[in-house]
Amino acid sequence: MTDELLARHRAVMPSWMSLLYEEPIEIVHAHDRRMTDSQGRTYLDFFAGVLTNSMGYDVAEIGDAVRKQLDTGILHTSTLYLIRSQVELAERIAKLSNIPDAKVFFTNSGSEANDTALMLATQFRRSNQVLAMRNSYHGRSFGTVAITGNRGWSASALSPVKVNYVHGGYRYRSPFRDLSDADYIKACVADLVDVLDTATAGDVACLIAEPIQGVGGFSLPPDGLFRAMKEVLDSYGVLFVSDEVQTGWGRTGEHFWGIDAHGVTPDMMTFAKGLGNGLAVGGVVARGDVLDCFQAQSFSTFGGNPVSMAGATAVLDYIKDHDLQANCAARGSQLISGLRAAESPIVAEVRGKGLMIGVELIKPGTTEPNVPAAARMLEETKKRGLLIGKGGLHGNVLRLGPPMTLTAEEAQEGLDILLDALKATHA
């Protein structure tokens, strides 16, 4: 069955649509944090569709809210009429954002959200020059490929956006790896000033950054990095965009938004993924004067559609009602300390915050990326009933991003599998 579907997939879909696993799986059912494939095998899910199914699967409250909306018969919307749930969700996100006089615009995805932020910043500042972080991932629309600082993910170099990259994202394999946090921040700030002064033609529109790089391997900058960078940006009049597509909604445990750890208020934040728990929703929350700067009429046929709005509202309620930010902090510490205790010779670094955890795999006794070990870890965990992800420039970083509803028992179950798989991979 799966073989036949895989052959059909390969025949009709693009070759670059990569699938995980030597034998890709087809999920046919999911409940809570478990998924069942077409062969009847059940897995504990530690990747949540790349941090998208943030609440897990088949959550009654969210399903009911979406069904209620479907029952009204309003399946499609446009930019023509008032939508109460859209206004209410925008009010809520604006308030959660701490951005003064914030306004919100909804899109369908993270790429569209970042594209919108780029259009706004370049329009507002009348400049098509932007800054991004090395090793970043912001999407694969025609605008966002240009600000994705990784040769493997940047599908096209022909985008009209003019970009320069600065240090401050991925640290383990950077020239600044062994610096103290304070010196690392100084080095990144010096790099930012250098790029602004010597690599741009002045009048840069914005810097866009992920508070924790997601696809790049859950790379964690020291708290305070972005505050130091923002001071420089302010002095040059450059806007700061925090890409919260992976780090938003309390997943990092400590804060509601990833950028809050750095004590700065961004000019814009972009979001998507976890807000919809699988439904297509994204958006930009920004300073009102920035979001109002377009001289055009509205756009996006499906952005902010009532079905996604109903699901997203139910997700925000669920996060609040079940104190999931605190759960992410507790489950994150449980997993991080358990993984660190393993002291495997192929693990260079276990890093992360809350339920965004990266495990950097190296060849024992070196700092070389261990790409085969990461591939093997995926197979070994799958064999034992656990789904995880991987990322990083070389694909040597294991990525753990379970639903935010993960229980202590499930965390332990996943941890046991990971430790067992690490032993089997190193053997």
The site for ligand PMP (CB under 6 A) is made up of 50, 109-111, 114, 137-139, 210, 214-215, 243, 245-246, 272
What gap in Å lies between CA 333 and CA 80, rounded to an integer?
47
Q: How far is the CB of 328 from ligand PMP (least distance, A)?
A: 17
Q: How far is the CB of 398 from ligand PMP (least distance, A)?
A: 16
Our CB check for ligand PMP shows the closer of 207 and 362 to be 207
Enumerate the H helices of 98-174 as residue ranges.
110-125
Our CB check for ligand PMP shows the closer of 52 and 344 to be 52
**Residue with structure tokens 């890409």?**
243
* Contact in structure between 287 and 101 (CB atoms under 8 Å): yes
Our CB check for ligand PMP shows the closer of 56 and 169 to be 169
Pick the closest to residue 54 from 406, 293, 339 (CA basis). Answer: 406
Output the residue with the shortest Cβ distance to ligand PMP. 110
Q: What's 39's DSSP letter?
A: T
> What are the backbone dihedrals phi and psi of residue 406, each rounded to the nearest 5 degrees, phi first?
-50, 135
CA R_g for the chain:
21
What gap in Å lies between CA 397 and CA 360, rounded to an integer?
4
Q: How far is the CB of 14 from ligand PMP (least distance, A)?
A: 16
Which helix (H) or strand (E) is 358 found in, with range?
Answer: strand 356-361
Q: How far is the CB of 246 from ligand PMP (least distance, A)?
A: 5
At 125, list the tokens: 């500042």
What gap in Å lies between CA 139 and CA 155, rounded to an integer?
10
Name residue 37's beta-bridge partners.
Answer: 27
What gap in Å lies between CA 356 and CA 333, rounded to an integer?
11
Report the amino acid identity of residue 60: A
Our CB check for ligand PMP shows the closer of 210 and 349 to be 210
Give the distance from CA 82 to its chain's centroid.
30
Our CB check for ligand PMP shows the closer of 246 and 381 to be 246
Our CB check for ligand PMP shows the closer of 30 and 272 to be 272
Which helix (H) or strand (E) is 181 found in, with range?
Answer: helix 181-198
Report the amino acid identity of residue 126: R
Our CB check for ligand PMP shows the closer of 159 and 370 to be 159
* Contact in structure between 205 and 125 (CB atoms under 8 Å): yes
Cα–Cα distances in angstroms (integers) from residue 5 to residues 2, 9, 49, 382, in the given order: 5, 6, 20, 20
Q: How far is the CB of 153 from ligand PMP (least distance, A)?
A: 9
